[in-house]
Structure formats: structure tokens, C-alpha cells
Amino acid sequence: MGHVEHKKLAPRIVNCAVVVISDTRTEKTDESGRLIMQTLRENGHQVVEYDVLKNDAGLIGGRLEDLLNEEGLQVIITSGGTGASRMDITIESVLPILEKRLDGFGELFRYLTYQEIGTASIMSRALAGVARGKVVICLPGSLAAVRLAMDKIILPEVGHMVREAAR
């Protein structure tokens, strides 16, 4: 069975958690998380959890553990903490929990980002993977990056990703 047939069997609606990781944003000032949630909802998906966490490995790891244990949750999307600075620890917090990496996500994201901003795209460590049958996606915190990832990668593939992750 090819990818077209797989996509036809994929769920049309998925249950998602959105976790924003930032030392400066709050629920009131978080635009990227709101954009992720709005885009998901406008496309028929459910947002069942939303958090804004500080750049703290213990907080991030603990919250991810809770979400991975949540029945019915299929996708976790994080925003923020994917850059190269010392305070960007999202990737280091997520990698140990992943059972499989979906390297193509980061590769495609950086390629599409390169088309928009050029060589600065190398600074992104965006990634996706699978943990305990759930899809985990880590996006940068910028609105442009979130919009790009949601429109060009996540929305077209999220159901397919969920189907494969759960098999």
C-alpha cells in the first residue's frame, strides 16, 4: 500500500496538545501557540491541552511524560527552544523520550525555511518523532516558522503521521 492509500485510511480529526516553551512568553503574550491552536481547530482537529512552560528540562520532561500517558492524545506540538543558544533546551528534553525520529520533518522544514530566509535556516533544530504511539513535533517559536510548518507540513500529514505512529 502506498502513501496515497495510507492517507485515505488516516484519521481526519486528531487530538493534540500544544506546549509553548519560553522564558519570556505567557498565555497572554503567546502568539505562536495561539496560531498553532487556531490552525488546528480551523482544520477540524481538537486541541485538548495547552501549556506555557519555562526553559527548564525538569518541567518540560515532566509535562511530556504526563502528556504521553494521556489516553486519547495523539499529537504533541511544542513551540520554542529549538535554536542554538544555551537556553534552547527543548530538543535535549525531547530526544530521550523519542522511540523513533522522523528526520524528514526537520530536513523538509529547514529546506522550506531556506527558501524563505536563506542560510539562517541552519540554526533551526526543528524535529519530529514518535513516542509511545504518539507523534511529537518540535517547532521554533517564531510566528513565521509556525505558520510555515503548520501549512506546508503538519496539516497535510498529521493524520497520516498519527496512523503510522499508532500501528
pLDDT digits (tens, 9 = 90+) for 66-121: 999 999 999 999 999 999 999 999 999 999 999 999 999 999 999 999 999 999 99
| Three-state helix/strand/coil letters over 34-59 | HHHHHHHHHCCCEEEEEEEECCCHHH
- Note the pLDDT of residue 3: 81
> CA angle, corner 60, sides to 55 and 64, nearest 5?
155
Helix (H, G, I), strand (E, B) or coil at 148: helix
SS3 18: strand
What would the CATH number be for the domain defined by 3-166? 3.40.980.10
Could you tell me the pLDDT band of residue 4, with boundaries at 50, 70 and 90? confident
- Which residues are registered as beta bridge partners of 20? 52, 79
pTM beyond cutoff 0.95: yes
Q: What is the 3-state secondary structure (H, E, C) of 20-37?
A: EECCCCCCCCCHHHHHHH
Query: What is residue 6's predicted lDDT score, i.e. its pLDDT?
Result: 79
